[in-house]
Amino acid sequence: MKCRFGLLVLLLITIIFTQGCWGSQETDELGYVILIGIDKGEKNIVKVSFQIAVPQPVEGGEQKKATEVVTVEAASIFGAKELASSFISKNLTFVHNKAVIVSEDIAKEGLSKYINPLVRCRELRRTNYLTVVRGEASEFLEHNKELIFEKYTSRYIDLLMNASKFTGFVPESNIHKFYQGLKSPGLQPITALMAVKNKEDDKITKGQDIGNEKKAEEEMAYLPGDIPRKGGAKIEIIGQVVFRDDKLVGFLNGKETRYYQMLTGDFQKGVFTIPDPEEPDKSIIVLEIKKGLSPEIRVDITEAKTVIEVQLFLEGEILSIQSGQNYEKGEREKILERYVSNYFSREVVALVRKTQKEYQSDIFGFGEYTRKYFGTWEEWVDYRWLEKYSEVDIDVKTNFSICRTGLMAQTAPSHK
């Protein structure tokens, strides 16, 4: 009898405290937001754009458009979401959102007041891409519907962001990483950078004659919207945004973003064009550079000065030698390896100096290596690494080796 009574009590407790499906919604009642754009408002605080997936017909017929963009001005992102329900038959949800795109003006004003509610939101994952667009986010969402190879913009952006594994043009950029940069005393946040290519720029114009050596070095030094090209989709994703605290202070182009990733250890591989060591203004050498090992970084703090010491480990494959010189073996191979090592060391130092003097922002996380000098978190915070970063010395050494020469073991010079 007691056993039956105990089971009855247990069953009643289970029924009372077990959650039901009272708050559930049917799939056809939901509107799935796949991209969120944030701009400064004109009539209210913020202008939020939602790119919503349009349901596709199951039986026959063709759907004219895959997504729809709606824009609402409100005091907050979630307020805009609520207001959208007054003219959209679906209940908007962020569970399948892929990216949050912020305008340049909002980024200059400060992102923390927009990032904090997104981090708290149950529907939005921290793995969502976080990017800054040159211009307005609403314009970006309106112009990116006409894609060539993909039906949904979210999928297109996903592929472009992941393509950085093969080029190094785009850094890892999501809500969680940005939030880490906001909260850490030894690291400043960054985001990827994107833009829409304007129609009037849809042609290749003759550039200024600056010499072949300079042209080779600046081959990848573009910001989105500035790439000399014709055709393709209007979206361009290349480079990154530098923040000091939560405010935009500058940009890094595609070339500089590669060196940034070399320092953070995220660089995988990419094709580089460098001047020929023996005739730099006439010929070029094309190499595919890969990460050999993760970089070794050391920060020494003394009373006299603070020094950042970096060792990079890279390896490469020769793709082209215009001059016909035999750089594949012997002494010439060593000449090329030393030249490339010095070339990368010089470029990386120039990038670090730029973040020190121009932006005063440690986006590389060098400050994280100073923790060992402090016993507590409070002591580390009170050290104020960011204020000292601009005066720190930087020493970079690159260890580069040629591992492959393609299908040619030796280059023979052409007859003049």
pLDDT (tens digit, 9 = 90+) per residue, 32-50?
A: 999 999 999 988 889 999 9
H helices present in 227-297, as ranges:
254-264
Residues 370 and 241 in one domain: no
Task: Cite the beta strand spans of 41-79 per DSSP E.
Answer: 46-53, 67-74
What pTM was computed for the model? 0.86
User: Residue 366 belongs to what domain range?
Assistant: 268-416
Q: Assess if residue 17 is contained within a domain.
A: no
- 104-123 mean pLDDT: 91
CB 226 within 8 A of CB 255: no
What is the predicted pLDDT for the residue at 187?
95
Residues 241 and 275 in one domain: no
Top-confidence residue, 224 or 207: 224
Question: If pLDDT is split at 50, 70 and 90, which confidence band does 329 have?
Answer: confident
Q: Which of 225, 217, 228 is nearest to 346 (CA)?
A: 217
Dihedral, 90, 92, 97, 100 alpha carbons, nearest 10: 130
Residues 184 and 223 in one domain: yes
Residues 248 and 320 in one domain: no
Residues 361 and 388 in one domain: yes
Q: Assess if residue 274 is contained within a domain.
A: yes
User: CA of 312: how far to CAs of 188, 256, 284, 340, in Å?
Assistant: 22, 15, 23, 12
Can you tell me the distance from the alpha carbon of 275 to that of 205, in angstroms, rounded to the nearest whole number? 24
Residues 239 and 328 in one domain: no
Q: What is the CATH number of the domain that holds 367?
A: 3.30.300.210
Q: Assess if residue 304 is contained within a domain.
A: yes
Residues 150 and 272 in one domain: no
Tokens 């016909």 belong to residue: 324
Q: Assess if residue 236 is contained within a domain.
A: yes
- 60-67 mean pLDDT: 65
The total number of structural domains that make up the chain: 2
Q: pLDDT at residue 85 above 70?
A: yes
Residues 317 and 225 in one domain: no
CB 336 within 8 A of CB 402: yes
The string of pLDDT tens digits covering residues 163-193 is 778 888 999 999 999 999 999 999 999 999 9
Q: Assess if residue 8 is contained within a domain.
A: no
Dihedral, 70, 71, 72, 76 alpha carbons, nearest 10: 110
Residues 120 and 233 in one domain: yes
Long-range pairs for 292-298: beta carbons < 8 A, 24 or more residues apart: 292/399, 292/401, 294/265, 295/262, 295/263, 295/264, 295/265, 297/263, 297/366, 297/369, 298/369
What is the predicted pLDDT for the residue at 380?
93
Residues 192 and 239 in one domain: yes
- 55-68 mean pLDDT: 67
Task: Cite the beta strand spans of 166-268 per DSSP E.
Answer: 190-196, 235-244, 247-252
Residue 356 DSSP class: I
Q: Assess if residue 260 is contained within a domain.
A: no
Dihedral, 284, 288, 291, 292 alpha carbons, nearest 10: -90
- Which amino acid is present at 51? Q
Task: Cite the beta strand spans of 256-382 per DSSP E.
Answer: 269-275, 284-301, 306-321
Q: Assess if residue 207 is contained within a domain.
A: no
- In sequence order, the β-bridge partners of residue 74 are 46
What is the predicted pLDDT for the residue at 206?
53
Count the Cβ atoms, other than its own, within 10 Å of residue 326: 17
Residues 325 and 283 in one domain: yes
Q: pLDDT at residue 395 above 90?
A: yes
CB 297 within 8 A of CB 394: no
Q: Assess if residue 221 is contained within a domain.
A: yes
* Burial classification of residue 209, based on how many CB atoms lie within 10 Å of its CB (0-12 exposed, 13-18 middle, 19 or more buried): exposed
Residues 283 and 185 in one domain: no
